[in-house]
Structure 1
């Protein structure tokens, strides 16, 4: 039986694009990943939450064989 309560929900369900503040698109996967996680982290911070409050994160990647080595180190900094 559930005895706890949920004090708040924040649903993030869109693509967080890797567009820099000047409107240009970042090229390296590491920079794209950093921009996306920074944006998500800031949205959560404004809601009084952190990345540790996330229940599920789905990341779609292209050319995993060549890009995973850039993605994992950045993701590891945000999810420990």
Structure 2
């Protein structure tokens, strides 16, 4: 079996070693990104919900960039929410800033009861653009 082609953004190696998972794994021209959350510099959850969502998208952007991709390359999204009804308008506004124009990726939103102290998590699959 081939080893996984792991993507870790600069400066985040310790986080991924500590929790023993990869930020993303490349398979051919697809990139499978682990769930990203809106943590502060110390790793704790950002208490302001909108800021937490924005930080999660920033973390996701760092992972995509490390693989040579961007938001336009995202084909599938799953988001996790601790209070979807209350949080919907906020994360939708941020999402619309990031994915403002069609064509949009597929999107699944899931309500959950626990995200290790976080209220939002985003996981994606992206197609890595051909070099050149």
1:74 has 2:63 as partner: no
Residue among 46, 60, 64 paired with 1:26 = 46
Partner of 2:62: 42
Unaligned runs of 5+ in 2: 1-27, 101-132
Give CA deviations for 1:20-79 in whole Å, capped at 9, x if unaligned. 113332112211111111111111112221111111001011212211121111111111
Q: Distance in 1 between matches of 2:45 and 2:68?
A: 29
> Larger % of strand: which?
2
> Larger % of helix: which?
1
Unaligned runs of 5+ in 1: 1-6
Q: Number of aligned residue pairs: give it.
A: 73
Residue among 5, 30, 50 paired with 1:9 = 30
Q: Distance in 1 between matches of 2:82 and 2:44?
A: 20
SS in 1 for 2:81: coil
Partner of 1:53: 73
TM-score w.r.t. structure 1 length?
0.76
Q: Is the 8 A contact 1:16 1:39 kept in 2?
A: yes
TM-score w.r.t. structure 2 length?
0.49
Deviation at 1:9, TM superposition (A): 2.0
Superposition misfits of 4+ residues, deviation over 6 angstroms? none
